[in-house]
Amino acid sequence: MSLARYTIEKKTVSIVLTLVLLLGGIMAFLNMSRLEDPEFTIKQALVITNYPGATPAEVADEVTDVIESAAQQLKQLKEVTSINNRGQSIVTVEVAEKYDKNTLPQVWDELRRKVNDAQRALPPGAGPSFVIDDFSDVYGILLSVSGDGYSQQDLQDYVSYLRKQLLLVDNVAKVSIWGDRQETVFVEISRARMAQLGLSLESVYKMLSERNLVVKAGNVRVGREYIEIAPTGGIESVESLGDLFIRDVKGGMLVPLKDVATIHRGYQDPPSRIMHFNGKSSIALGISMIPSSNVVDLGKAVDLKLEELKSETPIGINVENIYFQPKRVEDAVNSFVLNLGEAVVIVIIVLLLFMGMQSGLLIGAVLLITICGSFIFIQMAGVALERISLGALIIALGMLVDNAIVIIEGILIRYQKGGRRIQSAVDVVEQNKWPLLGATVIAVLAFAGIGMSQDSVGEFCRSLFVVLLISLMMSWITAVTITPLLCEMFLKPKVSEGGDLYKGFIFRVYKKVLEFCLRRRAFTLLVLGGMLVASIYGFGFVKQSFFPDSTQPRFFIHYWLPQGTDVRATRDDIAEIERFIKKDKRVKNITSFIGEGAPRFILTYAPEKSNSSYGMILVEVKDYSTVDEVMTKYKEEVNALYPQAEAKFKKFKLGPGREASFEVRFSGPDTKILRDLSREAQQVMLKSGKAESIRDNWRQEVKVLTPVIMEAQAKIAGITRPDLARAMNMFFSGARAGVYREGDKLLPIVMRPPENERLNVEQIGDVQVFSPVAGRMIPVEEIVSGFATEMQYGMLKTRNRMLTVTASCEPVSGLPSVLFNELRPQIESIKIPAGYTMEWGGEYEDSTDAQASLGGCLPLPFAIMVLVTIMLFNCLRIPLIIWLTVPLSIIGVTVGLLLTGEPFGFMALLGFLSLSGMLIKNAVVLLDQVNIELKEGKEPYMAVVDSCVSRIRPVAMAAVTTILGMLPLVTDAFFSAMAVTIMSGLAFATVLTLLVVPVLYAVFYKIKNPV
């Protein structure tokens, strides 16, 4: 029994199952997870190794090389890069694209084992290394906590309490604190007092470090008990530190620490990270959610918890939103659902206008059933409601009605001819089900490349393929089951009295044009060939891009002072910029993160690593439409007021990508040659006059103050280089000498001179260092010949174990691809010495890699598409005819993109590839009818003409519904180029297909024109 007959005869079962699809789909939609953008896995981990006192070159040679060698043993490795700062190595390990979020934990465990094994090869004083594999966590809720009149400690205590409370909220995975400062116990000892008493650094270190250690004292048996021994002598309070005794080296007397030192509590100085919210000192709380949770529900739960805690919040402490993804997701999803609803209404109205009331309503009902049924399986596939999945549904809308249109059109014609109702419905379904299935599979396979792509772009767009796969297959199922049932129940047209069913104006005009083309086949093909050549030429004038800018009402200001700038100087500049931007009435909020990038609050944002000369300002405006003018205004002001700084104004990006849109990399063994190559490339960028934010990632060289040791005198005094380094560190920065235990907190004890002694560089010659030979403190002037100021690299970067410098810039206006095409020949003309290489990065590399990944996945789906067309017709000529029509879409795509000015980016590329499936589907429907007519014994020429005339309505309606259904996407920043590509390409190609397919068929099968 056929599916159609079973569905009609088992009417009750069919209706119940239809209701299940409707209600189940509604429930699935309401319960689906919601996101703003789809997730993609950042396949990177950091390996951080400290090497105090080492230069960037020493760090690169002695530490980074060891860690990179260990990472290189991973068979999963894609590339390894590093940042070599003074005293610290940061190695970034990136694994191959085929490893996903499920397999990555095993890769990171293996990386940890390799890094641990490499620890023994590190130089003395370096390490241990830390592997950080969660730096890609996204904190979609970012809160600011501030309070006028409250101390730093008051804020930190409240933030700590708030963090514990928020961790109790359902679906909260992690709560991270940003901008807090390490509380510290300072022991400030005057140099003069230490010299007077003959105290050595070692004696003070030893006393402070050992006094508060927790050491097991053993147990003793007393009768039947086994009692633990716990000596007293721990430090009970900060003040009690002053009661500790230091031995006077000269007289051997014990001197209380309080007699020679001032002891007080404070904070890490200088701070490593500073945060402001609307000009006030603040601390940030970032909240990440458990994977696959509903971010909208999480936002409501967090709001409820904060509301509950208001009664316990001290008056004056404010908890405000920096970035609240749940609200943005709710607005975005609601907007897309509205677009989806608009698209459904547009499609149904078109159907009613062109298919008649009965047919239009039936197809509309089938469309709603298909969408609801699709939601059930989309949820089961783990797809969330987000930008890509909802956009995919809108793209699919027109195609979802294609199968139903063919079935209803066929049944309608049979009913009008007086055919029996059930038998007519069954016959139409049996006649069309396999061609429609084949055409549907072909349409799905056109999107399969993105579903199979394993890179971050493929992962980002994968829900597009999943949604189209499920919804299009669901449309075929409903077409061959529910559609004939509804036709049998509700479709009741008037029976024709033997007249021509295709006598309408459109049918008559099309038939005349078709016969004109068939009689002038060579001319028709020549004209189309000319149009195709012209469109290919015109495509060279279409702008290129990767992913468009976001519609976020926010933008970044990345601000770099010269490398080596004190973080407090960076803070002062940022505070000034905040003040004049905050006065702008168009600005809603302004948040600053100084010394390091903000927590990753959206997946497409990559935080800047720790750098005292860096600050980031996040500006939120009241209306997105003002972003460009606000950016332009303050870009000019900041560049004019702070010429010594590098300020980069950047809009949010949609989709994966890197921070700089234009990058060129130079790799090789010599730092000087690499820097010269980078400067030469930067000169090209500067001379163009079309580039801004020109910089390289090695930044500027930094000043280094170098005491020149007199080896003989130092040897006589028994002083080594480490002794001198420790003395310098203690008297200027302070040295950690132990920990103070206070409840569950461990506060570092830092020993340093008073402020008036440690901050004056002119007193460097008075620094005292203990001489074990003399038994006293001596000035460093006795062992150094002078102090030299040298310029050294503040950081060095490597890529795949080669020193690599990256020069980058941004276009002053327009697309990065335009600037790239202009500067590429000039930069590639730079002479590269032997042993050095140049590579392109930025948007060009991102786009090239994404297209290569997509292209590598296309051969298999397209091979299957060819096989399906062969299987459908059991011959080679008809599939060849079908595939020859596919390039016709280029004509419409070129015209559409040039007229609208939309760039041809990655999403437009996906739209272009999907056109092949749509066009093949139309051609299959057309040529299948030709075969049917021929089998019925019609003369070949009339079979071709009559088949095309009878199929013009389903083919044209399929194209019109797809084109008009995509109208809501034209205004969407992310989908606009894709929508224009599909709409214009399908419009032109459908018209041409209705003419070219029959002409090619007549040519291939040598059908003669009637006399």
pLDDT tens for 725-740 read 888 888 888 888 878 8
- Higher-scoring residue by pLDDT: 845, 850: 845
The pLDDT score that the predictor gives to residue 657 is 66
pLDDT tens digits along 175-219? 999 999 888 888 888 767 766 766 666 677 777 776 655 556 677
In this structure, the number of other CB atoms found within 10 A of the CB of residue 692 comes to 17
CB-based contacts of 19-26 (< 8 A; 24+ apart in sequence): 21/369, 21/372, 21/373, 21/376, 22/368, 22/369, 22/372, 23/372, 24/372, 24/373, 24/375, 24/376, 25/371, 25/372, 25/373, 25/374, 25/375, 25/376, 26/372, 26/375
**Helix, strand, or coil here: 970?**
coil
- Quickly state the pLDDT bin for 745 (edges 50, 70, 90): confident
Both structure tokens of 168: 């109790």
The pLDDT score that the predictor gives to residue 148 is 87
- List of E strands, 377-431: none
pTM: 0.84
How far apart CA 906 and CA 974 sit, in angstroms, is 10
With a cut of 90, say whether residue 552 has pLDDT above it: no
With a cut of 80, say whether residue 427 has pLDDT above it: yes
Stretch (H or E) spanning 411: helix 402-416
Average pLDDT of the residues of the chain: 87
Both structure tokens of 78: 């894609």
Among 499-513, 722-736, 973-987, the minimum mean pLDDT is found in 499-513
The pLDDT score that the predictor gives to residue 164 is 93
The closest of 736, 643, 561 to 204, measured between CA atoms, is 736
With a cut of 80, say whether residue 714 has pLDDT above it: yes
User: The dihedral of CA 126, 132, 138, 141: what is its sign?
Assistant: negative
Q: Residues 903, 905, 910, 912: what is their CA dihedral angle, to the nearest 10 degrees?
A: 40
pLDDT tens digits along 366-391? 999 999 999 999 999 989 888 888 88
The pLDDT score that the predictor gives to residue 546 is 77
Q: Please list the residue range(s) of the chain that carry CATH number 3.30.2090.10.
A: 191-259+702-793
Q: Which residues pair with 147 in a beta bridge?
A: 317
Give domain 503-541+875-1010's CATH number out of 2.30.30.40, 1.20.1640.10, 3.40.50.10210, 3.30.70.1230.
1.20.1640.10
The pLDDT score that the predictor gives to residue 261 is 82
With a cut of 60, say whether residue 250 has pLDDT above it: no
How far apart CA 357 and CA 359 sit, in angstroms, is 6
- Quickly state the pLDDT bin for 263 (edges 50, 70, 90): confident
778: region left, alpha or beta (phi > 0 left; psi from -120 to 50 alpha): beta
The pLDDT score that the predictor gives to residue 674 is 95
With a cut of 90, say whether residue 971 has pLDDT above it: no
The pLDDT score that the predictor gives to residue 173 is 92
| Residue recorded with tokens 């890769």 | 107
Hey, what CATH class is 554-671+808-841 in? alpha beta
The pLDDT score that the predictor gives to residue 118 is 94
Query: What is the average pLDDT across 262-266?
Result: 87
DSSP 121-187: GSPTT---EEEE--TT---SEEEEEEETT--HHHHHHHHHHHHHHHTTSTTEEEEEEES---EEEEE
Quote the percentage of the chain above a pLDDT of 90: 44
Amino acid at position 675, single letter: R
- Quickly state the pLDDT bin for 334 (edges 50, 70, 90): confident
| Range 1-31+356-495: architecture per CATH | Up-down Bundle (1.20)
Among 14-28, 237-251, 578-592, 851-865, the minimum mean pLDDT is found in 237-251
Query: What is the average pLDDT across 509-531?
Result: 91
Both structure tokens of 98: 């085929």
pLDDT tens digits along 294-314? 888 999 999 999 999 998 889
Tell me the C-alpha to C-alpha distance, in Å, between residue 464 and each of 36, 441, 959.
14, 15, 20
Contact assessment for residue 144 and residue 591, using Cβ atoms and an 8 Å cutoff: yes
- Quickly state the pLDDT bin for 500 (edges 50, 70, 90): low
Q: Torsions phi, psi of 549, nearest 5?
A: -70, 155
The closest of 567, 423, 413 to 494, measured between CA atoms, is 413
893 alpha carbon, distance to own chain's centre: 28
**Helix, strand, or coil here: 386?**
coil
- Quickly state the pLDDT bin for 959 (edges 50, 70, 90): confident
How far apart CA 700 and CA 696 sit, in angstroms, is 9
Q: Residues 675, 679, 682, 683: what is their CA dihedral angle, to the nearest 10 degrees?
A: -170
Q: Please list the residue range(s) of the chain that carry CATH number 3.30.70.1430.
A: 43-135, 554-671+808-841
Amino acid at position 144, single letter: S
CATH code, 191-259+702-793: 3.30.2090.10
With a cut of 80, say whether residue 501 has pLDDT above it: no
**Helix, strand, or coil here: 774?**
coil
Tell me the C-alpha to C-alpha distance, in Å, between residue 686 and each of 292, 678, 811, 816, 974.
46, 12, 11, 15, 31
Q: What's the half-sphere exposure (Cβ side, CA atoms, 13 Å) at 232?
A: 1
Query: What is the average pLDDT across 853-876?
Result: 89
Query: What is the average pLDDT across 612-628?
Result: 93
With a cut of 60, say whether residue 475 has pLDDT above it: yes
The pLDDT score that the predictor gives to residue 36 is 78
With a cut of 60, say whether residue 487 has pLDDT above it: yes
How far apart CA 921 and CA 914 sit, in angstroms, is 11
Alpha helices (runs of H) in 520-650, residue ranges in sequence order: 521-539, 567-582, 627-641
Quote the percentage of the chain above a pLDDT of 70: 96
Among 146-155, 576-585, 800-809, the minimum mean pLDDT is found in 146-155
Query: What is the average pLDDT across 437-441?
Result: 90
Burial of residue 547, with CB atoms counted within 10 A of its CB: 0-12 exposed, 13-18 middle, 19 or more buried: buried
Query: What is the average pLDDT across 323-342?
Result: 84
Stretch (H or E) spanning 648: strand 646-651
Contact assessment for residue 587 and residue 522, using Cβ atoms and an 8 Å cutoff: no
The pLDDT score that the predictor gives to residue 676 is 95
Query: What is the average pLDDT across 670-680?
Result: 95
| Residue recorded with tokens 């509804």 | 486
Contact assessment for residue 422 and residue 5, using Cβ atoms and an 8 Å cutoff: yes
How far apart CA 162 and CA 978 sit, in angstroms, is 45
Among 87-91, 223-227, 867-871, the minimum mean pLDDT is found in 223-227
> Superfamily for 43-135?
Multidrug efflux transporter AcrB pore domain (3.30.70.1430)
Q: Please list the residue range(s) of the chain that carry CATH number 1.20.1640.10.
A: 1-31+356-495, 503-541+875-1010
Q: Provide the b/e sequence for 872-894 (b: ≥16 CB within 10 Å).
A: bbeeeebbebbbebbebbbbbbb
